[in-house]
Amino acid sequence: MAMKRVLIVNKTFPAAGLELLKNKVQYTVVPHLDFEPESLPTIKKELKNVDAIIWNTKHRLTGPLLDLAGPNLKCVSTMSSGTDHIDIHEFEKRQLPLGSTPQVLDDAVADITVGLVIAAARRFKEGVAELESGDCKFGVQWRLGQDIAGSTVGIVGFGGIGQAVLRRLRGFDVKRFLYSGRTDKPEAKALGAERLPIEELLRLSDYVILCCPLTEETRHLINDKTLGIMKQNAVIVNIARGDVIDQDALYRALKENRIFAAGLDVVTPEPIAKDHPLVQLPNCYILPHVGSATIETRNAMARISARNVLLALEGKPMLNPVI
């Protein structure tokens, strides 16, 4: 009996995932990175007649691409926590199993989040730039930043990542933790977090940390109006998705010093151009979307996505089903 065919759509898929697939399926790895012009055309070519797909790419997975795979397609797994790059409606319409890799990346992303909080609040970008240019102006008023101790931290989206961020920040003697979301989280009481409407959270918080999924409801959640609610000393950190923030509005708020600073691991587009206005701001510290980029985390994500498709091909529930 012929082996099932699995397509992996980006060449950076870790060997830890390939090892699980070996001798169980016939897999093909697209030999390109997302930004290479050959990437999407090659994916389209290789999609035909596959039984499963590991969608480890930022390209959007749409109905027409699923059509290219044809009737043999049994399942898809992302190698990501978020699914905003997937046309979920198409999967629901086709009753096609879809898996993802949440939770396994919570700790790595939470670590990066704390790093961004510190870097933005303590003006790392400006200090390093002056050091590298030989223009340091030492003195008691040089490059003063914001304290975390005694502050109010508001977390927008209180799932696994948001909770992991709070646990780390507790060691910084934060005075008050707030969170916003659709429902009360049962973990909140033990963690000492208080749920408030988003407007109230923004008004009270010294640090605003965005951990929410990107949906039509959260797209441009941070905009001219909501930035206007925030404190002038506020630091905003985004590890969710770039489009949760209206970047033009953020640029204006930072440029005019209406908020203190921003730390971003996600932007739109990615990668962001080196001459983008946000990149030029001294009070905007940007990382190239490295939240889950540790060896162990990426290996674990690869293993989960591989197991998702192997289980689905056997007619069993995925480890982390979305649909």
Q: Which residues are catalytic?
A: 289
11, 27, 151, 297, 323 from 18: Cα distances, Å = 11, 8, 45, 15, 24
CB 27 within 8 A of CB 9: no
> What is d(CA 63, CA 308) in angstroms, rounded to the nearest whole number?
21
Phi, psi angle pair for 245, to nearest 5°: -110, 135
Q: How far is CA 291 from CA 52, 224, 295, in A?
A: 27, 26, 12
As a whole number of angstroms, the distance between CA 258 and CA 254 comes to: 6
Distances (CA, A) of 39 to 33, 42, 44, 45, 144: 6, 5, 9, 10, 45
Q: How far is Cα 101 from Cα 83, in angstroms, rounded to an integer?
A: 10
Tokens 């696994």 found at: 160
User: Which two three-digit tokens encode residue 236?
Assistant: 């905003």
- Cα(147)–Cα(117) distance, integer angstroms: 10
> Please, which residues have CB within 8 angstroms of residue 277's CB and are 6 or more apart in sequence?
251
Tell which residue, 61, 59, 85, has the closest CA to residue 75: 61
Please name every residue paired with 7 in a beta bridge, in sequence order, or none if there are none: 28, 53
